[in-house]
């Protein structure tokens, strides 16, 4: 199979996984929006970050988010970084909707793959995403755990380390490390983290 055929197969898989039209009363665009805000960290749950992630215009993204807010799937609140900006979070209704995500069929199919095949797929998809993002001049997104901006330090009393984002100068909780971030940059040598203060997550 040549490169174009593989690309077309990936695109077809994406279309099939989106479901047929409305699922549980939500359009494919609305499902994409809920998935993004469920995975994004608190610094990236904005209309502009969502527009970047899905390669759409800010106006289109804004209309989709506005509709989900009015329907009770998302709430809006002042941003942690800038009181003039707005952050969006899933409501209980939004989280419940994701229990019926049409993408689950693809998730289940991936779960049936052999572990080594699944790991190769994960690595390949990550590389493809980063390369296409680089070619298009778009942010690649990724998690703090693999970002060069992640810093960590062991607490003086020992035990679990504390984490922070060097770029934004903001603290991070351990459960923040796997969320998507618009400020993501791959850590050198594919390390899991870089620390300027010693230590690092594993």
pLDDT tens, residue by residue, 10-59: 999 988 887 766 788 899 899 999 999 999 999 999 999 999 998 889 99
User: What global pTM score does this model have?
Assistant: 0.82
pLDDT reported for residue 100: 92
Residue that wins the pLDDT comparison between 13 and 153 = 13
User: Quick one: pLDDT at residue 83?
Assistant: 67
Please determine, for residue 5, whether its predicted confidence score (pLDDT) is greater than 90: yes
Residue 122 tokens read as 């994960």
């Amino acid at each position: 199979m040549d490169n174009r055929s593989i690309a077309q197969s990936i695109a077809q898989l994406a279309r099939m996984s989106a479901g047929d039209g409305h699922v549980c009363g939500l359009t494919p665009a609305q499902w994409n929006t809920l998935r993004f805000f469920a995975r994004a960290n608190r610094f990236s749950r904005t209309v502009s970050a969502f527009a970047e992630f899905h390669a759409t215009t800010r106006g289109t993204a804004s209309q989709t988010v506005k509709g989900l807010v009015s329907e009770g799937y998302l709430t809006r609140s002042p941003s942690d970084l800038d009181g003039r900006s707005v952050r969006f979070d899933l409501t209980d209704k939004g989280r419940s909707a994701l229990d019926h995500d049409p993408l689950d069929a693809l998730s289940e199919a991936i779960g049936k793959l052999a572990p080594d095949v699944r790991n190769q797929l994960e690595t390949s998809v990550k590389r493809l995403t980063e390369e296409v993002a680089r070619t298009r001049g778009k942010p690649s997104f990724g998690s703090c755990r693999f970002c060069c901006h992640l810093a960590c330090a062991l607490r003086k009393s020992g035990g679990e380390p504390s984490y922070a984002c060097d770029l934004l100068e903001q603290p991070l909780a351990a459960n923040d490390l796997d969320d998507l971030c618009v400020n993501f940059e791959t850590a050198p040598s594919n390390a899991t983290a870089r620390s300027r203060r010693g230590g690092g997550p594993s």
